[in-house]
A and B are shown apart, each in its own frame.
Chain A
Amino acid sequence: MSETSDFVLFLGRFHPLVVHLPIGFLFFAFMLELLGRKKQYEALTSAVPLALLSGFVSAVLACVLGYMLSLSGDYEQGMLDSHFWFGIVTTVLVLVAWLIRTGKIKLQEKQSLKANISTITLIVILLSVTGHYGGNLTHGSDYLTKYMPFNNTEETILTPVAKVEDAVVFDYLVAPILDAKCTSCHNESKKKGGLSLIDSLSIMKGGKGGDALIAGKSLESEIVKRVLLNPHHDDFMPPEGKTPLTEEEIDIVKYWIDHAAAGFSTKVGHVETSEHIKEIASVMLGLSNDPNKVELPVVTKVEESVLQEIISEGFTVSELVFDSNIYAVVLPSKTITENNMGELGKKLQVLAKIKDNVLWLHLEDNQVTDDHLEIINTFSNLQKLKLSRNPLTDAGVSQISNPIIESLNLYGTKITRASLEPLSKLTNLKNVYVWETAILKEDVDALQLRSEFPKFVLGI
Chain B
Amino acid sequence: MCDHHDILRSNNKDLQSIEKQIDRRYFLKKTSLGIGALALGSLLNTEKAWSSIGNSGAGVNAFAKNKLGLPHHLPKAKRIIYLFQSGGPSQLDLFDYKPRLVDMFGKDLPESVIGGQRLTGMSGSQSTLPVAPSLFKFKQYGESRAWVSEIMPHLSEVVDDLCFIKSMQTDQINHTPAVTFMQTGHQLPGRPSIGSWLSYGLGSDNENLPTFITLISKNGKGQPLKAGLWGNGFLPTEHQGVQFRSGKDPVLYLNNPDNYDGTDRKKMLDYLDKLNSIQHDAYGDPEIQARMTQYEMAFRMQTSIPEVTDTSNEPEHIFEMYGKDSRDAGTYAANCLMARKLLEKGVKFVQLYHQGWDQHIGCPGGVKNKARQTDQATAALIKDLKQRGMLEDTLVVWGGEFGRTVYSQGQLTKKNYGRDHHPKAFTMWMAGAGVKPGFSYGETDDFSYNVTKDPVHVHDFHATLLHLFGVDHERLTFKHQGRRYRLTDVHGHLVKDILT
* Residues of A participating in the B interface, judged by any CB pair closer than 8 Å: 291-294, 296, 304, 307-308, 311, 316-323, 327-328, 330, 332-333, 384, 386, 388, 407, 409, 411, 431, 433, 435, 457-460
- Bound together, the chains give a CA A83 to CA B496 distance in angstroms of 57
A321 engages B72 (CB within 8 Å): yes
| A316-B205, A322-B70, A433-B388 known; A307 vs B75 contact (CB < 8 Å) | no
**Which residue of chain A has its CB nearest to the CB of B380?**
A460
A332 engages B346 (CB within 8 Å): yes
B490 interface hit (Cβ, 8 Å): no
B196 → A minimal CB distance (Å)? 19
- Bound together, the chains give a CA A431 to CA B383 distance in angstroms of 15
Known: A311-B52, A328-B78, A330-B346; 6 extra A-B contacts, CB below 8 A, are: A304-B63, A307-B63, A308-B63, A320-B75, A433-B387, A457-B386
| A330-B346, A433-B389 known; A296 vs B74 contact (CB < 8 Å) | yes
**Which residue of chain B has its CB nearest to the CB of A407?**
B392
- Bound together, the chains give a CA A304 to CA B52 distance in angstroms of 13
B471 → A minimal CB distance (Å)? 11
B389 engages A294 (CB within 8 Å): no
- Bound together, the chains give a CA A385 to CA B166 distance in angstroms of 35
* Residues of B participating in the A interface, judged by any CB pair closer than 8 Å: 52, 56, 60, 62-66, 69-75, 78, 203, 205-206, 345-346, 383, 386-389, 392-393, 470, 496, 499
B388 engages A294 (CB within 8 Å): no
B205 engages A319 (CB within 8 Å): no
- Bound together, the chains give a CA A388 to CA B345 distance in angstroms of 14
A459 → B minimal CB distance (Å)? 5
**Which residue of chain A has its CB nearest to the CB of B72?**
A322
Q: Pick the residue among A291, A332, A388 that contacts B389 (CB under 8 A).
A: A388
B389 engages A322 (CB within 8 Å): no
Interface of B is mostly: loop
Give the residues in chain A near B75, CB-CB below 8 Å.
320
Q: Pick the residue among B71, B387, B393 that contacts A460 (CB under 8 A).
A: B387
- Bound together, the chains give a CA A457 to CA B470 distance in angstroms of 26
Give the residues in chain B near A435, CB-CB below 8 Å.
387-388
Q: Pick the residue among B52, B56, B389 that contacts A431 (CB under 8 A).
A: B389
Give the residues in chain B near A411, CB-CB below 8 Å.
387-389
- Bound together, the chains give a CA A317 to CA B66 distance in angstroms of 11
- Bound together, the chains give a CA A460 to CA B388 distance in angstroms of 10
- Bound together, the chains give a CA A294 to CA B500 distance in angstroms of 12
- Bound together, the chains give a CA A66 to CA B206 distance in angstroms of 73
Please name 6 pairs of A and B residues whose Cβ atoms are closer than 8 Å in the assembled complex, sorted by A.
Answer: A293-B73, A317-B64, A320-B71, A322-B72, A386-B389, A388-B388
- Bound together, the chains give a CA A411 to CA B389 distance in angstroms of 8
A327 engages B389 (CB within 8 Å): no
- Bound together, the chains give a CA A460 to CA B393 distance in angstroms of 18
Please provide the 9 A-B residue pairs with the shortest distance between their CB atoms, ordered closest to farther: A433-B389, A409-B389, A460-B383, A435-B387, A317-B64, A322-B69, A304-B63, A307-B63, A459-B387
A330 engages B205 (CB within 8 Å): yes
- Bound together, the chains give a CA A318 to CA B66 distance in angstroms of 8
Give the residues in chain B near A291, CB-CB below 8 Å.
496
| A304-B63, A318-B64 known; A458 vs B387 contact (CB < 8 Å) | yes
**Which residue of chain B has its CB nearest to the CB of A383?**
B74
- Bound together, the chains give a CA A316 to CA B52 distance in angstroms of 12
**Which residue of chain A has its CB nearest to the CB of B60?**
A318
B202 → A minimal CB distance (Å)? 8
Give the residues in chain A near B64, CB-CB below 8 Å.
307, 311, 317-319, 327
**Which residue of chain A has its CB nearest to the CB of B65?**
A319
Give the residues in chain B near A319, CB-CB below 8 Å.
64-66, 71
B38 → A minimal CB distance (Å)? 28
**Which residue of chain A has its CB nearest to the CB of B499?**
A292
A440 → B minimal CB distance (Å)? 14
Interface centre among B56, B64, B496 (most CB of A within 10 A): B64
A321 engages B470 (CB within 8 Å): yes
| A320-B470, A322-B69, A332-B346 known; A294 vs B74 contact (CB < 8 Å) | yes
- Bound together, the chains give a CA A308 to CA B65 distance in angstroms of 12
B173 → A minimal CB distance (Å)? 28
- Bound together, the chains give a CA A305 to CA B496 distance in angstroms of 40
A322 engages B388 (CB within 8 Å): no
**Which residue of chain B has its CB nearest to the CB of A433?**
B389
**Which residue of chain B has its CB nearest to the CB of A365?**
B344
Give the residues in chain A near B78, CB-CB below 8 Å.
328
A322 engages B66 (CB within 8 Å): yes
- Bound together, the chains give a CA A321 to CA B65 distance in angstroms of 10
Give the residues in chain A near B69, CB-CB below 8 Å.
322-323
Give the residues in chain A near B60, CB-CB below 8 Å.
318
- Bound together, the chains give a CA A73 to CA B259 distance in angstroms of 96
A131 → B minimal CB distance (Å)? 42
Give the residues in chain A near B389, CB-CB below 8 Å.
386, 388, 407, 409, 411, 431, 433, 457
- Bound together, the chains give a CA A394 to CA B314 distance in angstroms of 27
- Bound together, the chains give a CA A59 to CA B110 distance in angstroms of 76
B62 engages A311 (CB within 8 Å): yes
Give the residues in chain A near B499, CB-CB below 8 Å.
292
Give the residues in chain A near B386, CB-CB below 8 Å.
457, 460
Give the residues in chain B near A328, CB-CB below 8 Å.
78
- Bound together, the chains give a CA A307 to CA B52 distance in angstroms of 12
Give the residues in chain B near A459, CB-CB below 8 Å.
387
| A308-B62, A332-B346, A433-B387 known; A321 vs B74 contact (CB < 8 Å) | yes
- Bound together, the chains give a CA A410 to CA B71 distance in angstroms of 28
A185 → B minimal CB distance (Å)? 30
- Bound together, the chains give a CA A384 to CA B71 distance in angstroms of 18
A313 → B minimal CB distance (Å)? 14
B198 → A minimal CB distance (Å)? 13
Give the residues in chain A near B383, CB-CB below 8 Å.
460
Give the residues in chain B near A407, CB-CB below 8 Å.
389, 392
A334 → B minimal CB distance (Å)? 10
- Bound together, the chains give a CA A388 to CA B389 distance in angstroms of 9
Give the residues in chain B near A308, CB-CB below 8 Å.
62-63
| A319-B66, A458-B387 known; A431 vs B392 contact (CB < 8 Å) | yes
**Which residue of chain A has its CB nearest to the CB of B75?**
A320
- Bound together, the chains give a CA A52 to CA B444 distance in angstroms of 80
Give the residues in chain A near B72, CB-CB below 8 Å.
321-322
Give the residues in chain A near B203, CB-CB below 8 Å.
318
**Which residue of chain B has its CB nearest to the CB of A303?**
B63
B187 → A minimal CB distance (Å)? 25
B385 → A minimal CB distance (Å)? 10
**Which residue of chain B has its CB nearest to the CB of A406?**
B392
A314 → B minimal CB distance (Å)? 12
- Bound together, the chains give a CA A67 to CA B333 distance in angstroms of 85
B476 → A minimal CB distance (Å)? 12
- Bound together, the chains give a CA A435 to CA B321 distance in angstroms of 15
Interface centre among A292, A304, A460 (most CB of B within 10 A): A460
Interface centre among A293, A307, A316, A386 (most CB of B within 10 A): A316
Give the residues in chain B near A294, CB-CB below 8 Å.
73-74
Give the residues in chain B near A460, CB-CB below 8 Å.
383, 386-387
Give the residues in chain B near A296, CB-CB below 8 Å.
74
B205 engages A318 (CB within 8 Å): yes
B342 → A minimal CB distance (Å)? 13
| A321-B74, A322-B70, A459-B387 known; A292 vs B392 contact (CB < 8 Å) | no
- Bound together, the chains give a CA A321 to CA B72 distance in angstroms of 6
B72 → A minimal CB distance (Å)? 7
Q: Pick the residue among A311, A320, A457 that contacts B387 (CB under 8 A).
A: A457
